[in-house]
Copies of this chain bind each other. A is one copy, B any other.
Amino acid sequence: MISWTNFDELSSVKKLESAAKVDLTKEMAGENGAARVAKYSVPMSNGLAYNFASKQVNDEILGALADFAKEAQLTEKFQALYEGEVINTGEKRLVLHQLTRGQLGKDVVAEGVNKREFYVAQQEKIAAFANKVHSGEIVNEKGEKFTTAVQIGIGGSDLGPRAMYLALENWAKKNGCFKMEAKFISNVDPDDAALVLNSIDVEHSIFVLVSKSGTTLETLTNESFVKDALKKAGLDASKHMIAVTSETSPLAKSSDYLAAFFMDDYIGGRFSSTSAVGGAILSLAFGPEIFARFLNGAAAEDKNSTNADLLKNPAMLDALIGVYERNVLGYEATAVLPYSQALSRFPAHLQQADMESNGKSVNRFGEPVNYVTGPVIFGEPGTNGQHSFYQLLHQGKNVIPMQFIGFRNNQAEMDVDIQGSTSQQKLCANVAAQIMAFACGKVDENKNKNFEGNRPSSIIVGDKLTPEVLGALLAHFENKVMFQGFAWNLNSFDQEGVQLGKVLAKKVLAHETDGALKAYSDLLNI
C-alpha cells in the first residue's frame, strides 16, 4: 500500500539531519580520496557511470538515504507510475513517457487502448514517413527532395528535441547518418521565425508543427508566420507541413498537413523527447534507426531506475543526494556542467525538466508544504563555463552543488595535438581538475587566492556521446526529477504556475486591463 507522505513527516529525515556533515577537503585528500572515487560509483547503462565521490556524503549518510528511499517508497511509487496509476493528481492523468521507450511493468490500458502499442505504432508511422522523405518518395511540389526540417514548437516541444538534435549532429555527420539539417522556431517574437526563414531554403524545407493541445498560441502564431512565408514563395503550405499533436486536437484531422503523428495527455511536454514530439524531427534528421537507438538507451536506463537498492539505482541516488543538499545542507541552486559541446543545450532542457516539475509549493494534494523543493538549475558546457561563472562557484559566498558530465572520447574524431596533449585530453583534464579544485580547495595566505573547497560535485562519465548514451542520460535526469518529486510529495507533472500569465496576456491583447497592467501595456505600446 503506497502512502503519499510529506517530506517532513518521514522519520528517516531526522537521521539525515543528525548525521555529521562531510568535509570534502578532508575526505577527498590523499589515498582516502582515491578510494572514494573507486567506491562511490554506480554503473549506469551503455557504459556510463554515476560517480559521487565528491559529494558531501559518507556511508552513514548513504545509509540514511537508503532508509529514506524505503520509507518514502520511491520504488513502489515509480512502479505505480509506469503501471498506469493516476500519478498526475492535479490534471488526473497517467504519466506514461517511459512507455514510449519500453515496458517496465504490466500492460497499461487506458480508454481501451494498450498505450505501449499506441506509442510504438506512432513510431512506426514516423519511421515510414521519414524513410519516404529520405528516399525521395515524399517530395516537394517540384518533385525534389526535402533538405531541411524545421520544428515549430515551444517549451517541451522545443527544448528537449533541440538539445537532442544538437547532441547528435556531430556524431551523425561523422557516422554517415546525417539525413537533413534541423532548425527550430519557438519564440513568439517574430524575429525568431524571421531569422530561421532567412537562413533556409523554404522550397526544400519540411515543417514539423508540434502542439499537444493544438491550441498553443505561440506555436499557432509561428505556424501562420511560416504559412505566410510559404505562400509568398508560391508554395502550398499543406505540402510542406506535418503535425505532431494529440488525436483529439484540431490539428489531428486537418488537410493542412502532409501527415499527423500523435502523442497524448499522458506524455508531459517536458518528458516528450522520446515520444512523437522528438521522434518526428530526430527521425527526419538522423533516420528512424538512430531514433530507435536513442530510445533503447533510455529504456536501459529506465530499467536501472526500478532497482530498489539505492546504491544500484543511479537516478534515485542522484535524486536523494540532491534532496540532502537542498533540504539538509540548504543549497538553493544546482549547476549542470557537461564537458561536451554537443550538450550545449542540455542544461536548458534540464532547466525546464527540473524547475517546471518541482518548482512547487504545494504537495500532490494541493496542501502547502513547509520545506524547500526544486532548486534553480543552470549551466553551460565546460570549458566555456570555466571562463565565465566558475569564479562564483569556486569563491562565491554560497555553495552551488554541481553535476558534471564527461566523455573519454569526442564525437567528430577530429583532434589536434598541441603542447603534448590533444584537445580531448585537455577537456578531460579540465573536468578532473575542476572536481578536485572544488572538493579540496587550496590554502593560501593571500586570501584572494585562497580556495575553501568543500564544494560538492558528481560526474557522469561515459565513453562517447552516442544515441544510446544520450537516451540513457535523458532518462537518468527525467527519473531523477521524478524521484525528487516523490521525495517532496509533489505532483511533478502539472504546471499550474504558467496559467496566470496566459490569462493576463489575453486580457492585455483584448485591452481589458486597468491599473498597473494597463500602465505596463501602455508602456509597451500594446
Q: If the complex has contacts A194-B412, A376-B333, are A520 and B395 also in contact, measured as CB distance less than 8 A? A: no
Total contacting residues, chain A, CB less than 8 A: 160
**Which residues of chain A in 178-203 are interfacial with respect to chain B, using CB atoms and an 8 Å cutoff?**
186-195, 197-198
Q: Answer whether residue A244 sits at the interface, using C-beta atoms and an 8 A cutoff.
A: no
Compute how far the CA of A217 lies from the CA of B500 in the bound complex, rounded to whole angstroms: 49
Compute how far the CA of A352 lies from the CA of B390 in the bound complex, rounded to whole angstroms: 9
Does the CB pair A159–B388 fall under 8 Å? yes
Chain B residues contacting A356 (CB-CB under 8 Å) are: 388-392
Chain B residues contacting A459 (CB-CB under 8 Å) are: 520, 523
Chain B residues contacting A222 (CB-CB under 8 Å) are: 423
Does the CB pair B33–A519 fall under 8 Å? yes
Chain B residues contacting A502 (CB-CB under 8 Å) are: 433
Q: Answer whether residue A120 sits at the interface, using C-beta atoms and an 8 A cutoff.
A: no
Q: Answer whether residue A398 sits at the interface, using C-beta atoms and an 8 A cutoff.
A: yes
Q: Answer whether residue A221 sits at the interface, using C-beta atoms and an 8 A cutoff.
A: yes
Shortest beta-carbon distance, A34 to chain B, in Å?
A: 4
Chain B residues contacting A348 (CB-CB under 8 Å) are: 380, 388
Does the CB pair B359–A517 fall under 8 Å? no
Shortest beta-carbon distance, A391 to chain B, in Å?
A: 4
Chain B residues contacting A51 (CB-CB under 8 Å) are: 523
Shortest beta-carbon distance, A444 to chain B, in Å?
A: 9
**Nearest chain-B residue to A371 (Cβ)?**
B397
Does the CB pair B29–A507 fall under 8 Å? no
Q: If the complex has contacts A173-B198, A221-B416, A433-B508, are A442 and B500 also in contact, measured as CB distance less than 8 A? A: yes
**Which residues of chain A in 215-268 are interfacial with respect to chain B, using CB atoms and an 8 Å cutoff?**
217-218, 220-222, 224-225, 228
Chain B residues contacting A352 (CB-CB under 8 Å) are: 387-389
Chain B residues contacting A440 (CB-CB under 8 Å) are: 516
**Which residues of chain A in 421-453 are interfacial with respect to chain B, using CB atoms and an 8 Å cutoff?**
421-437, 439-442, 446-452
Chain B residues contacting A156 (CB-CB under 8 Å) are: 387
Chain B residues contacting A383 (CB-CB under 8 Å) are: 154, 187-189, 218
Q: Answer whether residue A143 sits at the interface, using C-beta atoms and an 8 A cutoff.
A: no
Compute how far the CA of A526 lies from the CA of B430 in the bound complex, rounded to whole angstroms: 10
Chain B residues contacting A176 (CB-CB under 8 Å) are: none
Chain B residues contacting A90 (CB-CB under 8 Å) are: 448
Does the CB pair A190–B376 fall under 8 Å? no
Chain B residues contacting A439 (CB-CB under 8 Å) are: 516
Compute how far the CA of A366 lies from the CA of B447 in the bound complex, rounded to whole angstroms: 5
**Nearest chain-B residue to A428 (Cβ)?**
B524
Shortest beta-carbon distance, A442 to chain B, in Å?
A: 5
Compute how far the CA of A397 lies from the CA of B518 in the bound complex, rounded to whole angstroms: 29
Compute how far the CA of A503 lies from the CA of B431 in the bound complex, rounded to whole angstroms: 12
**Nearest chain-B residue to A91 (Cβ)?**
B448
Query: What 0/1 pattern do residues 333 to 346 of A give for CB contact below 8 A with B?
Result: 10000011110000
Does the CB pair A384–B158 fall under 8 Å? yes
Compute how far the CA of A188 lies from the CA of B366 in the bound complex, rounded to whole angstroms: 47
Q: If the complex has contacts A194-B414, A342-B191, A388-B159, are A496 and B448 also in contact, measured as CB distance less than 8 A? A: yes
Query: What 0/1 pattern do residues 348 to 385 of A give for CB contact below 8 A with B?
Result: 10011001111111100011110111101110111110
Compute how far the CA of A390 lies from the CA of B497 in the bound complex, rounded to whole angstroms: 7
Contact of A397 among B373, B378, B414, B501 (CB under 8 A): B373
Does the CB pair B34–A504 fall under 8 Å? no
Q: Answer whether residue A22 sits at the interface, using C-beta atoms and an 8 A cutoff.
A: no
* CB-based closest 10 A-B pairs: A359-B392, A155-B387, A33-B516, A433-B504, A37-B519, A194-B412, A394-B497, A378-B378, A352-B388, A359-B396
A selection of 7 A-B contacts at a CB cut-off of 8 Å is A158-B384, A192-B341, A218-B387, A386-B498, A420-B509, A429-B521, A435-B520
Question: Can you add 9 more A-B contacts, CB < 8 Å, to A217-B419, A358-B392, A361-B396?
Answer: A170-B195, A189-B424, A194-B411, A218-B383, A352-B388, A361-B452, A432-B517, A434-B501, A436-B517
